[in-house]
Structure 1
């Protein structure tokens, strides 16, 4: 299949004003065993805490130890362990109904991305009231909520440091975001030991997600926002500070993800993976995610497949679509990953980066084609139209996305056609 694209100069955007922007928790603690700091951190801001997690984590000895230590510090502990994958709105409604009158003073989100996203948005509804739908969009949270402490147990989402919660609204049939600097956690406590029991499938899905965050932030659209846009828009686009984290995270995951796939008990590799996922969260917190995330949402709703696997299956084709607009960035990724030679042409360096990313995904056991997910050709137009509604994400893509171009990406992904688009 050959698709002719406009010249790169026609679609390339550059950070001409040299902007850099970071948003982050007030405190980040990283390292094996740092979960033991949770009681001390919580005691500094609350005497009554709500633990938000899922059924798997709540049954673990690590969770029992954390809650027992909190109680020993004289902190009253409430537990919500009903968090579901892809965070349905009903979980937020459930928390609001059960804990609105409980005088909760802090929320600890411990688990995967859904648990931490739920903790962040629970802080909003418990503080400001109303329905979570009141806060869909950007900068609609009226003020700070009760303090949130995030504790990731998977190496992928970066939700421990992002100021957005992604929610699946069952009535709308789509994912929506509550995006505000007021969602930023008070503290993120990142303990790689908590990822040692992460199942292989979840390790693969979350690892693919982290890798995609680094790629989409580093190759995303540079927006050159003015003062007014910075005050009202969460994502400033590709920027010099986010790029620092993206480069560091790519180098870490290049080594650590294959090592974790080979030996899930490799704590140094787990540590590097979680550090890389943290870097990815820091990068997307101001640069944002892009096309792959916009397209995955309706695919996930149709196929009921994990977010990370949908992202993995899309990445080879979205990267190829974006390549003409981001040759220098993909070439640099190739050098970061150690697969590009300085003597290669820029195009060859860029292509080697994409091939290496695919190798990592395959080593993890993550899918790299859409047929594996169960997506059908008859769904392509619906997926494309739904993806175009995610304007917060499509606006970050380095090449303009249209219904037709998304369908072209989907056809290639379904056919596992990894030939290169021609300029």
Structure 2
């Protein structure tokens, strides 16, 4: 038997309490001029002021763009780039949640290659390396610090769109759990649930072969030995600590577990990709204007149930990683126990249980299914195939809260 594995990651990943203090030395290796992308909330904190002062003390000139908005509206990227072009940065530093990191990636892309952001929508449209990006997350969820993706909202499109290229992977990811200590319970829950969904979808993704052209033709290539390793680590850490971190934000060990879990999940899905839960969330999120992490987590138990006939062995491993006692259970029973544990965990941290409760209009169920079915890069990654009728049944089950119906 031979293994197949592929993974794409930053040149350097630094993780641990206080690792943000390494930023000046890391940045100094890349140049002397840094564009820093963050949002107004974090820009007003004492921690951010300390980070900027430390960069300046290391003889790095800093231009701060603190106008990052949720979901990175397309035209805000052009504003950032226009403001930074004369500054001529040597690097871009993203500090904040996933949108701040995605803004940094997009800014580096346009500063390097010009054009409009929409020129790069899709896979492998970025022609060459960009300015180096240093990603410093302050939330534990998206995994953008290690992934080849930047997601933006385009006013000319109903759904959010992505730019996917290995050239978008940050040069360095600096993950300091202390930066997440101030996250409120609701944000901790939604971000952490997003990370757990990333890990489960990466681990249960289709295994798409060993052809040498696979990773050259596709950014996301399905599960492999290395992505499985990171996905199971993420599931273990998030399973044992996400609920604790939501209940007690001052629990340093839980915060560390959740941030490491989000990082590991990003390492997994950044190559393996995600699947049906993400495909359905895109149209559902566009209609309900709800957070991405909330939407994918709402959908995850139903998608796991739909996939259980094709992925029972993997779901059983998910259950083991979540710490379930599987003594005396058959394979399908272990898979069902894993689904129930994910549903229990999400309910415990306040995740909305159905698409109905999320606010999806009943008359948009079929439209949501049709839109999700058309997102081929995600649907082809799902371990159980879809036709349009199967997708409609799944969306209806998630709307009604009928877990049993989602398995049909």
Provide the aligned length of Structure 1 versus Structure 2.
Answer: 408
Note if contact 1:138-1:234 (Cα within 8 Å) is conserved in structure 2.
yes
**Map of 1:44 onto structure 2:** 29
Residues 89 and 268 (structure 1), Cα distance of their counterparts in 2 relative to 1, 3 Å cut? same
Q: Secondary structure at the match of 2:151?
A: strand
> Are 1:227 and 2:180 matched, yes or no?
no
Quick check: 1:62 aligned with 2:50? Answer: no
1:2-401 equivalences in 2 (<5 Å): 18-401=3-386
Residue among 382, 389, 392 paired with 1:407: 392
* C-alpha separation in 2, matches of 1:361 and 1:315: 10
Give the drift of 1:245. 0.6
Q: 1:185, 1:294 → 2: CA distance?
A: 25
Q: Which has the higher contact order (CA 8 A, sep 6+)?
A: 1
CA RMSD of aligned residues (A): 1.4
Assess, with a 3 A threshold, how the Cα gap between structure 1 residues 29 and 240 changes in structure 2: closer, same or farther: same
Partner Cα separation in structure 1 for residue 78 and residue 389 of structure 2? 37
Q: Deviations over 1:11-66 (max 9, x none)?
A: xxxxx963101111111110011111111111111211011111111111111110
Looking at structure 2, the residues matched to 314 and 110 of structure 1 have their Cα atoms a distance apart, in angstroms, of 29
User: SS state of the match for residue 6, structure 2?
Assistant: coil
Q: Distance in 1 between matches of 2:366 and 2:350?
A: 28
Does the Cα contact within 8 Å between 2:185 and 2:247 map onto a contact in 1? no
Q: Could you list the structure 1 runs, at least 4 aligned residues long, displaced by more than 4 angstroms after superposition.
A: 420-423
Partner-residue secondary structure (3-state), 1:236: coil
Instruction: Extract unaligned runs of 5+ from structure 1.
Output: 1-15
Q: Is the 8 A contact 1:17 1:224 kept in 2?
A: no
* SS of aligned partner of 2:202: helix
SS of the residue 1:22 aligns to: coil
For each residue in 1:148-206, what CA deviation from the matched residue of structure 2 results, as whole angstroms up to 9, or x when unmatched? 00011111111000011111222012122111111111100000000001122111110
1:86/1:307 contact within 8 Å kept: no
Query: Normalising by structure 2, what TM-score?
Result: 0.97
Shift of 1:225: 4.3
TM-score by structure 1 length? 0.94
Please say if residues 315 and 334 of structure 2, whose CA atoms lie closer than 8 Å, have aligned partners that are also in contact.
Answer: yes
